[in-house]
Structure 1
Amino acid sequence: MAERNQDRFRLLVKICQLYYEDGLNQLDIAKRLGISRPHVSRMLATAKSEGIVKISIHNPFSVEQELEKSLLSLFGIQDVLIVDSTDMNPDQLYSLLGRTCSPLIESVLRDGDHVGIMAGQTIASVAEELDYFASEGLQFVPLVGGWGSDGASWHANTNAMAFANKLKAKYSIIHAPAVVANEGTGTLLREEPEIAKVLHQAQNSRVAIVSIGDVSEQATMVKSGGFSPEMMRELKERGAVANLCASFLDANGQEIEFSQQNKMIGLSAWDLRAIPTVIGVAGGEQKIEAITAALRGKWIDILVTDTLAAREILSSYHNLK
């Protein structure tokens, strides 16, 4: 090696040791060696390009991230976060999805945001796992009325209140059920000033945090007593596989017509589409068809789900091709 090249190589190695091993920043190195900071930056870049420095990342999430890339490529949404659900029961999965969603919410929310909140145990777990972060002027708003008289701990109102309490923010409440006895009552309630005000706030949310419900006897709307067996039968006959706020989707992600639609108090899927950032949180085997429908219809911008659901969604999609 020529003497000049050897001196250059020695300097490259010294700068790399100071930066990567000793923890000095570029300005400290520049002062120590009597050179400019931009020159230090160029030398570090040269060291990487010439193979003097090789950076490897220990990534325990490589499997999940490959699934994320596949879903992003396939459905073209903004982002996907996937958690490992191996050997987990449903309660554990709720908590894990909630913990995964917590830092995402902190990164997405801005001061002054109106945030739409859906009903469901998954969304309740997100609120429970959420860590406090400083913010100003946040307002949490329910996206639908109450799903019946049972399950009040994960109604949209309760979930909105839980988020607000965690972040020391304000919240609104819809003083009405999600489903009423007849269309006339539904019309009157939607026009009632206080309810109309909250629905308007929900429509003007910048962020919505929603569950993706399946159409089954295990769904939140059924377990809470909001939907009768007859209503569920009609939905299934019409091909419904997913529930998104006050709307229902078929397997292709298209919103379906439903005879009880005017009895429902809450935002429709089309209202949801007008919200700039919609975060869908759902996982588990029973939600695979529902999540796929929401993705196909492009009703959500960011998906938080688990490895089991992600693999099955990808497998089912490719089998249909």
Structure 2
Amino acid sequence: MSDIGEERTRLLVKVSNLYYNDGLNQQEIADRLGISRPQVSRMLSMARAAGIVQIKIKNPYSEEQQYERAIAETFGIHDVSVLNVPDADPRTIETQLARAGSALLESALKDHDIVGVMAGRSIAAIGNEIGFVQRKGLQFVPLVGGWGSEGAPWHANSNARSLAEKLKSKYRLLNAPAVVASKEARDVFVNEPEIADVFRMAGKTNIALVGIGQVSEQATIVQSGYFSKSDIENVRSLGAVASYCTSFLDETGKLVPYDLEQRMIGMTAGELRKVPNVIAIASGEEKVAAICATLRGRWIDVLITDMETAKLVLKWHNEHPVKL
């Protein structure tokens, strides 16, 4: 004859089978057994605590997720997506990261969100990869002016338009260059009613898609012709290792003040910090110091990168210690 303890165990097993194997929900189990739904919930918890139910997850992404946890815990950001793209060329990595960014954006978007969009090829790639998702009242807004006539497919305006068209949403255009000749010229531009209206909307951004740039002659601002080689050398001599929005960061993640910032048209890092969800996409050995600086300053909420870059970021952080 069984004792009461064994019968209780038998009942826990029965409830667990109905829930996990037969697919009944908690209310259906409660109705079948004549007990309350909260009681079913407690019994399922008891079954797990007793080892009756042991959940095993088949995880093909365990290595990537080790690096995701390491970066998130090291730098204190909300989330990290690390993709393993072994022996791939930069274009393939860019495409894979764009697909990850598209999936993340699709899940993050809510009705009536305003999405701020930076310039860059990685952001443009998201526009190419994303599919339509039904959301009401979405709007896309560029966060920086144009980087010259070349590279138009990845200007912030082009990126905002591309994403909006894919999602059948509205978008604004910022009809101004990213860098002008003087502070006075910048003031004229930003006080134009049409441009001021775009900046007002940018200030209401819920989600921002951004890239992270290195401070070198290969940086977009130099390649586009808006910064000379001597300009970028001057900024680098001040300790800058990262280009982020219209701002520069040193290796500790702090802002690097510089005179040329007064000539730039777009959101600063400080303004972007007010956005609730900033998603950055960046990869490549040449950007490791820049990514690390941006993480150290906690300028972003989510990072999407590849595994090789993730390894190098953690290595660089350990080799260049600072107190976070």
> SS of the residue aligned with 1:209?
strand
* Partner SS for 1:54: coil
1:227-248 CA distance string (max 9 Å, x none): 3223222222222211111111
Shift of 1:148: 1.1
Unaligned runs of 5+ in 1: none
Report the equivalent of 1:147: 147
Match status 1:212 vs 2:193: no
Residue 86 (str. 1) matches residue 102 (str. 2): no
Distance in 1 between the 2:78 and 2:86 partners? 26
Query: Does the alignment pair 1:71 with 2:71?
Result: yes
Corresponding letter in the other structure for 2:93: L
Q: Does 1:30 align with 2:44?
A: no
Provide the C-alpha distance between the structure 1 equivalents of 2:230 and 2:297, rounded to a whole number of angstroms. Answer: 26
SS of 1:82 mapped into structure 2? strand
Q: Does the 8 Å CA contact 1:81/1:305 hold for their aligned counterparts?
A: yes
The alpha-carbon distance between structure 1 residues 261 and 34, as it changes in their structure 2 partners (threshold 3 A), is closer
Q: Does 1:129 align with 2:129?
A: yes
Write the letter of the residue equivalent to 2:28.
D
Between 14-23 and 137-146, the greater mean CA deviation after superposition:
14-23
Q: Secondary structure at the match of 2:122?
A: helix
Aligned length: 321
Give structure 2 stretches of 5+ with no counterpart: none
TM-aligned CA deviation for residue 3 of structure 1: 4.3
In structure 1, what is the equivalent of residue 278 of structure 2?
A: 278
The residue that corresponds to 2:112 in the other structure is: 112
Which letter maps to 1:275? V
**Equivalent residues of 1:117, 1:143 under 8 A apart:** yes
Which has the larger displacement, 260-269 or 157-166? 260-269
Does the 8 A contact of 2:288 with 2:316 survive in 1?
no
| Contact 1:140/1:172, CA 8 A, preserved across alignment | yes
| Structure 2 CA distance for partners of 1:267 and 1:36, relative to 1, 3 Å | closer
Q: How does 1:1-321 map to 2 (within 5 A)?
A: 2-321=2-321
- Superposition deviation, residue 284 in structure 1: 1.8
Q: What is the alpha-carbon distance in structure 2 between the residues aligned to residue 30 and residue 207 of structure 1?
A: 42
Q: Aligned in 2, Cα 1:222/1:119: closer, same or farther, shift over 3 Å?
A: same
Contact 2:289-2:316 at 8 Å conserved across structures: no
Report the CA distance between 1:40 and its aligned residue: 2.9
Letter matched to residue 259 of structure 1: D
Query: What's the CA shift for 1:286?
Result: 1.6
3-state secondary structure, aligned to 1:241: strand
Q: For 1:201, give the aligned amino acid.
A: M
Q: State the TM-score, normalized to the length of structure 1.
A: 0.93
Output the CA distance in 1 between the equivalents of 2:84 and 2:117.
25
State the shift of 1:288 in Å: 0.7
CA distance in 2, matches of 1:138, 1:96: 25
Rounded to whole Å, the distance in 2 between the matches of 1:42 and 1:262 is: 61
Equivalent pairs: percent with the same residue? 49
Counterpart Cα distance in 1 of 2:25 and 2:112: 36
1:62, distance to aligned residue in structure 2 (A):
1.6
What is the letter of the counterpart of residue 146 of structure 2?
G
For the aligned residues, what is the CA RMSD?
1.9
Judge conservation of contact 1:215–1:242 (CA < 8 Å) in 2.
Answer: yes
Shift of 1:266: 0.9
Tell me the distance in 1 between the aligned counterparts of 2:234 and 2:182. 16
Q: For residues 296 and 9 of structure 2, what CA distance do their matches in structure 1 show?
A: 54
CA separation in 1, counterparts of 2:198 and 2:144? 10
Q: Secondary structure at the match of 1:260?
A: helix
Give the Å deviation of 1:293.
Answer: 0.9
Aligned residue type for 1:79: D
Change (3 A) 1:262 1:39: closer
Distance 1:216 1:85, change over 3 A: farther
